[in-house]
Amino acid sequence: MTPKNRILVLFVAGLIVLTVATTMVKGRDQSLRSLQQSGAIKIGYAVEAPYIYIEPGGEVTGAEAEVAKVIVKRLGIQRIEWRLSEFNLLISELEAGRIDAIVAGMFITTERAERVSFSEPTFHVQQGLLVEAGNPNQLYSYKQIASLPEIKVAVISGAIEESLLKKLGVSDRQLVTVPDALTGRVAVETGTVDGLALSALTIRWMAQQDQLGRTEMAQPFEQDTLIQNQYLGYGAVVFRQEDMQLRSAWNIALKEYLGTPEHLSIISPFGFSAAELPGSVTTQKILSQP
């Protein structure tokens, strides 16, 4: 056998081994079947209305929660065991196996994709800013905040807004982390910060629920070019990377459901509309951005 043929044989043998190994891994992935057999899926969440929150009676609800309930039923899983956590701890909880999925209005990012796997997008929102009533500092964009070093802005711990602001040039000393939107609102009202970075949808929801207090949405708010060009603001359900069976089945059910009259009727009470649908943008396309 010539050296050239020997290399070719070794290359083909390597491909076969790789194919067999991949098939074996897929064959061992029983992530959906095991949940169907147990009858329950443990879903982790952090309170952030209108994506997901707890009603006074204790029921977990919100646009993302209600969609998850439909998909879980379609996958043949009998019930959801909801597990409340702080937002910035959810991925660690998933990796540790204490939950099976995350439903928390979590945005798709390349940084998170290094640790977890995302479903196809379930929604798309634009960014916003909560400011003191009257907007005394005349703040109308995240980029503007970067040019005003004396301005301080609150961000929810672990949320996408923190990384967005940093990419736009906002310094660490300008940022103040808070555990949730209502705590951030109080920080704005008391003058601890000059604004709270949130999705525009969240601020609209707070207004609908009469939760703005002495604050308001900064308007008109300019969507920065960086945000517009990098497919930011797309949310999804989150899984462990090895749970391919569960993710694939969830995506199939999701594709059949998103945008249907039933779907729109379920999310509309939470301020969502067809304008918040992800359209044709895929998770792969989002993660391929530089």
Residue range 236-288, pLDDT digits in tens: 999 999 999 999 999 999 999 999 999 999 999 998 888 889 999 999 999 99
Using CB atoms within 10 Å of the CB of residue 273, give its burial: 0 to 12 exposed, 13 to 18 middle, 19+ buried.
Answer: exposed
Q: Are residues 64 and 190 in the same domain?
A: no
Last residue of a domain, one of 177, 203, 229: 229
* Contacts of residue 186, Cβ cutoff 8 Å, sequence gap at least 6: 213
Report the alpha-carbon distance of residue 241 to residue 238 in Å, rounded: 9
- For residues 184-201, give the mean pLDDT: 95
Query: Is the same domain home to 155 and 220?
Result: yes
Tell me the pLDDT of the chain averaged across its residues. 88
Region 128-146 average pLDDT: 96
102 lies in which domain range?
A: 31-124+235-273
Domains identified in the chain, total number:
2
Q: Token digits for 12?
A: 């083909």
User: Can you read off the two tokens belonging to residue 159?
Assistant: 């949320």
Is residue 225 located within the same domain as residue 243?
Answer: no
- How many CB atoms within 10 Å of residue 66? 16
Same domain, residue pair 51 and 112:
yes
Predicted confidence (pLDDT) per residue in 21-50, tens digit: 343 344 589 999 999 999 999 999 999 889
Q: Which of 74-83, 121-130, 132-141, 160-169 has the lowest mean pLDDT?
A: 160-169
**Does residue 97 register a pLDDT over 60?**
yes
Helix axes 63-74, 244-257, angle to 10 degrees: 110
Residue 127 has what pLDDT? Answer: 86
User: What pLDDT is attached to residue 280?
Assistant: 92
Percent of the chain with pLDDT over 90: 72
Residues 185 and 222 in one domain: yes
255 with 120, same domain: the answer is yes
The pLDDT, as a whole number, for residue 245 is 97
41 shares its domain with 172: no
C-alpha distances in Å from residue 109, one per residue of 51, 191, 235, 261: 18, 31, 9, 29
**Contacts with 163 (C-beta within 8 Å, 6 or more apart), sequence order:** 109, 111
SS3 175: strand
* Alpha carbon distance 118, 238 (integer Å): 5
104-117 pLDDT tens trace: 999 999 999 999 99
- Model confidence band, residue 232 (pLDDT cutoffs 50, 70, 90): confident
Is there a single domain that holds both residue 116 and residue 74? Answer: yes
| Domain at 208, CATH number | 3.40.190.10
176 forms beta bridges with: 154
- pTM of the full structure: 0.71
Tokens standing for 26? 């897929």
